[in-house]
Amino acid sequence: MTTPRDDYDTPWKDAVTRYFPAFMAFYFPQAHAEIDWSRGHVFLEQELAQVARDAALGKRLADKLVRLTLRDGSAQWLLLHLEVQGRRDPGFAERMFVYNYRIFDHYRQPVASLALLADDSAGWRPDAYAYQRLGCTMGITFPVVKLSDFAGRLEQLPDDPNPFALLTAAQLSARQTKGDAQRRAAEKWRLLTLLFQRQWDRQAIIDLLMVIDWMMRLPMPLERQLRQRIGDMERSRVMPYISSFERIARSDGRKQGRQEGLREGQFLLLTQLLNQRFGPLPAHLAQRLAQGTTEDLSAWSKAFVNATTLDQVFQS
């Protein structure tokens, strides 16, 4: 029984966008304390995409550029790099430098660069890039946090009230259980059970469930069993959190595994394409996408080809 290929970029991008203050509080508490969160924050997707094109570096799915206000009243642009592909990148520090100075050069805005690394290489912690010529020094140093730093706290993470503690536990567990589907299924069930025990609002539960589900992919037979258990737990608690999971579990008796596999493949591919072109989906569209039939997904995929807005994709 093989486990589907893990995909980390998309769920991390989703979670960071929806719960950015909590993300900063968990991984970069010092920076979080300097930000005036009452003034709000804005993601600058188009500005980052323009800089990526100008720098010929390609768009990283999980990079974020955010405009926010510090407690001293000054405006600030925050460049957040999330390297979550799980491997070392020898050009990472240089890319941090290039992005930073390109944004400053293009928009004349000072930029703070931060990095979260999800690789499992203990000795790799790039936090600076510099060069020196003829007495002139040019470079950058930046704060770095690695998910592997939390490995020693894996058992305590689920007790932390910050949602990113639970997501960190899911990411670390996904790495530890790679190639062991049965163990991953057990760990995924444990984390989801803890998620349902949180006193969070319904939408937050659904959002985080979808992220954990995406992080900890399982072979379809084990996935069906897990979804059935979740549906049973929902009904016993009268907690309608996971309508999409329950719907899939109910449909198993009516559809062949191959049909469900086709629908899931359509769903994952279209979700990735939509996120890459338009950014994270609004909650109501994410829900609609998750509940779409194979016919719906086919129609939306065809509309996507020429669409310039999300409305054009989903107008059918």
Rounded distance between C-alpha atoms, residue 119 and residue 101, angstroms: 25
pLDDT value of residue 184: 94
What mean pLDDT comes out for the span 265-293? 79
pLDDT value of residue 257: 47
Lowest-confidence segment of 94-103, 110-119, 248-257 by average pLDDT: 248-257
pLDDT value of residue 61: 44
Report pTM.
0.70
pLDDT value of residue 220: 84
Domain residues for 301?
262-307
Tens digit of each residue's pLDDT (9 = 90 or more) over 193-219: 888 888 788 778 888 888 888 888 888
Domains contained in the chain, number: 2
3-state secondary structure of 41: strand
Rounded distance between C-alpha atoms, residue 131 and residue 223, angstroms: 50
Q: Which of 84, 111, 142 is the C-terminal boundary of a domain?
A: 142
Q: Taking 90 as the threshold, does the pLDDT of residue 140 lie above it?
A: yes
What mean pLDDT comes out for the span 124-147? 94
Rounded distance between C-alpha atoms, residue 27 and residue 37, angstroms: 16
What mean pLDDT comes out for the span 62-82? 82
Rounded distance between C-alpha atoms, residue 305 and residue 302, angstroms: 6
**Residue 129 is assigned to a structural domain of this protein:** yes
Q: Taking 80 as the threshold, does the pLDDT of residue 268 lie above it?
A: no
Lowest-confidence segment of 45-54, 206-215, 256-265 by average pLDDT: 256-265
**Residue 173 is assigned to a structural domain of this protein:** no
Q: Which of 110, 142, 174 is the C-terminal boundary of a domain?
A: 142
**Residue 77 is assigned to a structural domain of this protein:** yes
**Residue 301 is assigned to a structural domain of this protein:** yes
pLDDT value of residue 117: 87
pLDDT value of residue 236: 67
Q: Which of 91, 116, 142 is the C-terminal boundary of a domain?
A: 142
Rounded distance between C-alpha atoms, residue 24 and residue 32, angstroms: 5
Q: Taking 80 as the threshold, does the pLDDT of residue 84 lie above it?
A: no
Helix 257-278 to helix 220-237 angle (10° resolution) is: 80
Which has the closest alpha carbon to 260: 219, 308, 301? Answer: 219
Lowest-confidence segment of 41-50, 97-106, 226-235, 306-315 by average pLDDT: 226-235
pLDDT value of residue 267: 77
Q: Taking 60 as the threshold, does the pLDDT of residue 240 lie above it?
A: no
Rounded distance between C-alpha atoms, residue 33 and residue 44, angstroms: 22
Establish how many alpha carbons lie within 13 A of residue 183's alpha carbon, considering only the half-sphere containing its beta carbon.
8
User: Position of tokens 């730093």?
Assistant: 149
Rounded distance between C-alpha atoms, residue 292 and residue 281, angstroms: 15
Q: Taking 50 as the threshold, does the pLDDT of residue 256 lie above it?
A: no
pLDDT value of residue 248: 45
3-state secondary structure of 244: helix
Q: Taking 80 as the threshold, does the pLDDT of residue 2 lie above it?
A: no
Please, where are the H alpha helices in the chain? Answer: 9-18, 20-27, 29-34, 45-55, 92-107, 163-176, 181-196, 202-215, 220-237, 243-251, 257-278, 283-290, 294-306, 310-314
